[in-house]
Structure formats: structure tokens, C-alpha cells
Amino acid sequence: MITKHAYKDLGQHNYNWLKARYHFSFAEYYDPQRLGFGALRVINDDIISAGKGFGMHPHKDMEIITYVRKGAISHKDSMGNEGRTAAGSVQVMSAGSGIYHSEKNAESEDTKLYQIWIEPREMNVTPRWDSKDFPAAPVNDALALLVSGDKKDIQNGALYINQDAYIYGGVIQKDARITHKIHQQAYILLSKGAAEINGVLLEQGDGASLDNAEDVTITAQQDTEILIIDVPKAQH
């Protein structure tokens, strides 16, 4: 079954320097019917003003994935990691036993990104951070595997996280039709464009949850940027 979550219906808050839309309950937004989706706990659709960002703050036992859609985000953490992740790229952080980090928009333009939190498979692991650029060319056959909880996928270019989860993404060419296999249950984000997802129209900013399905068929009505977050049911 597919359930559409339209952009206009998402939770939201305007902090002046940060304009946030929430797919699930977070911060000032609370909806008892929107507490997550299996092991997926947070999806924030954020616009961060130029020169602004999140100062040093702690995390523990959470897999945090950032997909940058416009601009760039600059990361620093208490493990000594530093990096700049630009549009079309992904960073991952296993908070594990505990880590402090900051995320700043050091650019001269607004940065737009998805911040995704997934519950970990194991608690108290050693914290880690990584990032990677992914191909931007539109596809008409299959989406790239960006993030995986299977270490074997690292050899094929995926970023590793501490959970049996998979994140696929990319730009699907206009009029292309892709059938994508679902391993567990999936949450879909449509970042740009418009597409029919199992017959349901999604437009820019919309999301959809998909459960009890073996696959999903995506028909792009224009060049469409999309993420598929495939996660297990909640474990904790």
C-alpha cells in the first residue's frame, strides 16, 4: 500500500535562518500519528540561510544521513573529521557511543537538504563520518545505491551505515519507467520534478510511505530527482 504525504501537509517551523519541513514529529512539531516509519525516525526538509547553521551539539546511537540538494554543508566533529558536502552528494554519521558535531552553511547562497535519521542496528559503536559525491547524470534503468548497511556494497561505491537499510537515489529521465525492488518497507522522497509512484502522483517536496509491497514502479513525468529509503521495522 502507498500513502502520499504532500509537502503542503508536512509539519513546519521557521527559525528565520532555518526553514524546516518535517515528515515526522520533530522539535516543535508533534503529531502522534507521525512518529516515524519503522527504523526511520526523522526526515527534515531544511533550507539553511547562507552563513548560518547548527553549532556543536551531541548525538548518540543514531545513523544520520544528509542528502544535499542545493548549495553545500560543512561538517566538523569531535573525532576530528571535517568535510564539505555539496549538492548531489551524501554524508553519513554513525553517532554510536557519542559524538559532537556542527553543520554550517559556509556558502553565499541558501543550502537545501534532507536530514534523515535511522535507528542503529547495534548500540555504542565507535562513531564515524564519511561523505561521497554521486553521479548526477539522469538514468532510465535503475537508481544508484547511495547508502547501505551491507559492507559488501562499499566495494560498489555505497556509503556504510550501522543498520540493515538501503538508500537509493538519482535523477530519472523524463518519460522513463523504472521498477524498483523493495527489500523491507520504503519511504520515498521526491526532491525535484514529478512522477507517478505506483499510480500516485508525487511532485516536488512530496513523500510517500510504501509497505507490504515487493516493488515500486516510478514513471517520471519530467526529469525527477528521487530518494528511496528502504528500512526494517522499528527495533527498539
The span from the CA of 10 to the CA of 184, in Å, is: 24
Neighbours of 6 (CB within 10 A): 12
- Helical (H) or strand (E) element with 202: strand 200-203
* Contact assessment for residue 111 and residue 70, using Cβ atoms and an 8 Å cutoff: yes
pLDDT tens figures, 177-217 = 999 999 999 999 999 999 999 999 999 999 999 998 999 99
Fold of 2-231: Jelly Rolls (2.60.120)
Q: How far apart are CA 195 and CA 105, in angstroms?
A: 30
Taking a C-beta distance cutoff of 8 angstroms, is the pair 132, 148 a contact?
A: no
pLDDT score of 136: 85
Report the C-alpha gap between 17 and 53 in whole angstroms: 8
pLDDT the model gives residue 235: 62
Amino acid at 186: A
Residues in contact with 23: Cβ distance below 8 Å, sequence separation at least 6, in sequence order: 5, 10, 11, 34, 42, 43, 44, 45, 187, 207
How many contiguous H segments (helices) and E segments (strands) does the chain have? 0, 22
**Closest of 130, 124, 188, 201 to residue 161, by C-alpha:** 130
pLDDT < 70: residue spans in the chain:
235-236
CA pair distance 115, 136, nearest whole angstrom: 20
